[in-house]
Amino acid sequence: MRELKLMKGNEAIAEAAIRCGVDGYFGYPITPQSEVMETLMDRAPWDSTGMVVLQAESEIASINMVYGGAGCGKRVMTSSSSPGISLMQEGLTYLAGAELPCVVVNVVRGGPGLGTIQPAQSDYFQSVKGGGHGDYKLITLAPASVQEMADFVELAFDLAFKYRNPAMILSDGVIGQMMEKVELGEFKPRWTNEYIEKNYPWVTMGKNGRERNIITSVQLEPSVQEAFNHKLQNKYRECEENEVRYEEYMCDDAEYLFVAYGSSARICQKSVEIAREKGIKVGLLRPITLWPFPTKQIAHYADKVKGMLSVEMSAGQMVEDVRLSVCGKVPVDHFGRFGGAVHSPGEVVEALENKLIKA
């Protein structure tokens, strides 16, 4: 039975993980996401579902514990916030290189450096452009509500296993900390070892009579490494073809478009209403997958609107992908407070007027 609860975004991640049958969580405390592990430890799922929860000595250790579990075909995850996610970049590129599915949650805070514990969206580049070394991609989901924090855990695992690739839930301190009503999914059983071995024949669980399996990202021979890279790129193209997700709000008659994700998209929803009261026809396109990015949909609006404003709590990161999608057809600008500051709906409307309408 689905259950209705009032909870924080971070708590919803933990609750959803237990309910959708996640096998393991490995993490290290950092503000503003520590409630994820605190909730898991409090719920003690090892006694109910058998889920393993372990506090590691660092984010480096936790992402590598995830690697070990993922190599066994287990559904394993970690969560952290920006400085901790920076430490995990080595692990993420190895996971991508070894084609291991897992889920990593980033509850973003302002940077650079130790920065602030207040919310930000300044890890967009790190999530969708690489972060670690080599040519790889992370499937990146951007929740805009506590409900989506809960729902995206299972979605992220489904995509990660479908493509044998790490998936990231790119949240922020607003979504992680705020409380909302959330409808929680039913408890689903964890996968059995037999199910995993039957459906994912690449896993390392002991060879048990078959040829041995090797989880690795090393191919010293350049021709082999190049062929492997082609395979990765083909997989990424397939993912771009099939997995783009976005939401449109009042776009039908729009003359201007906000492009915003996560908590900025929530703010922009209000900005759309304020602008329309003033007679400005503006709509909102909210990318749900940041990679793969809704390039085609944004390109479609480039033929319909007079300009686009990428609204992000960063100095301007996603705006680059919006510009690439639009290909110079209409003006694209950026607006956002950053370094832990959050823009108000009114500030966004003002930016639209100043940067695109009056300009």
> For other proteins, which residue of 16, 17, 76, 265 counts as binding (CB under 8 A)?
76
Nearer to other proteins, 71 or 336 (CB): 71
> For other proteins, which residue of 31, 147, 217, 225 counts as binding (CB under 8 A)?
217
Nearer to other proteins, 69 or 292 (CB): 69
> For other proteins, which residue of 1, 2, 47, 57 counts as binding (CB under 8 A)?
57
Contact indicator for 302, 255 with CB cutoff of 8 Å:
no
Give me the sheet containing 332-335, strands edge to edge: 246-249, 282-287, 256-259, 307-311, 332-335
> For other proteins, which residue of 2, 212, 278, 358 counts as binding (CB under 8 A)?
212
Cα angle 220, 96, 123 (rounded to 5 degrees) comes to 130
Q: Is 216 in the site for other proteins (CB under 8 A)?
A: yes
Q: Is 67 in the site for other proteins (CB under 8 A)?
A: yes
Q: For the beta carbon of residue 313, count every other beta carbon within 10 angstroms.
A: 29
Question: What is the rounded CA–CA span in Å between residue 349 and residue 57?
Answer: 45
Q: Is 64 in the site for other proteins (CB under 8 A)?
A: yes
> For other proteins, which residue of 112, 134, 206, 346 counts as binding (CB under 8 A)?
206
Q: Is 170 in the site for other proteins (CB under 8 A)?
A: no
* Per-residue contact flags (x/-) with other proteins for residues 4 to 33, judged by CB under 8 A: -------------------xx-x-------
Contact indicator for 248, 271 with CB cutoff of 8 Å:
no
Q: Is 274 in the site for other proteins (CB under 8 A)?
A: no
Nearer to other proteins, 1 or 218 (CB): 218
> For other proteins, which residue of 117, 215, 274, 324 counts as binding (CB under 8 A)?
215
DSSP per-residue string spanning 57-74 = SSHHHHHHHHHHHHHTT-
Alpha carbon distances (Å) from 269 to 120, 148, 274, 301: 18, 16, 9, 18
Q: Provide the 8-state DSSP code for 243.
A: -
* CA 193, 198, 202, 207 torsion-angle sign: positive
- The stretch among 56-64, 256-264, 277-285, 294-302 that binds other proteins (CB under 8 A) is 56-64
Provide the minimum distance between the beta carbon of 251 and other proteins in the complex, in angstroms, as a whole number: 44
Alpha carbon distances (Å) from 194 to 73, 99, 142, 238, 320: 11, 21, 33, 29, 45
Q: Is 222 in the site for other proteins (CB under 8 A)?
A: no
Q: Are strands 139-141 and 289-291 parallel, antiparallel or unpaired?
A: antiparallel
Nearer to other proteins, 95 or 318 (CB): 95
Nearer to other proteins, 55 or 116 (CB): 55
Q: Which helix (H) or strand (E) element contains residue 103?
A: strand 102-108
Nearer to other proteins, 79 or 177 (CB): 79
Contact indicator for 66, 102 with CB cutoff of 8 Å:
yes
User: Which positions from 78 through 107 interact with other proteins, judged by CB under 8 A?
Assistant: 90-91, 94, 98
What are the helix (H) ranges across 59-128? Answer: 59-71, 82-87, 89-97, 124-128
Provide the minimum distance between the beta carbon of 46 and other proteins in the complex, in angstroms, as a whole number: 10
Provide the minimum distance between the beta carbon of 153 and other proteins in the complex, in angstroms, as a whole number: 18
The residues facing 315 across adjacent strands are none
Residues engaged in binding other proteins (CB under 8 A): 23-24, 26, 52, 54, 56-58, 60-62, 64-72, 74, 76, 90-91, 94, 98, 193, 204-209, 212-218
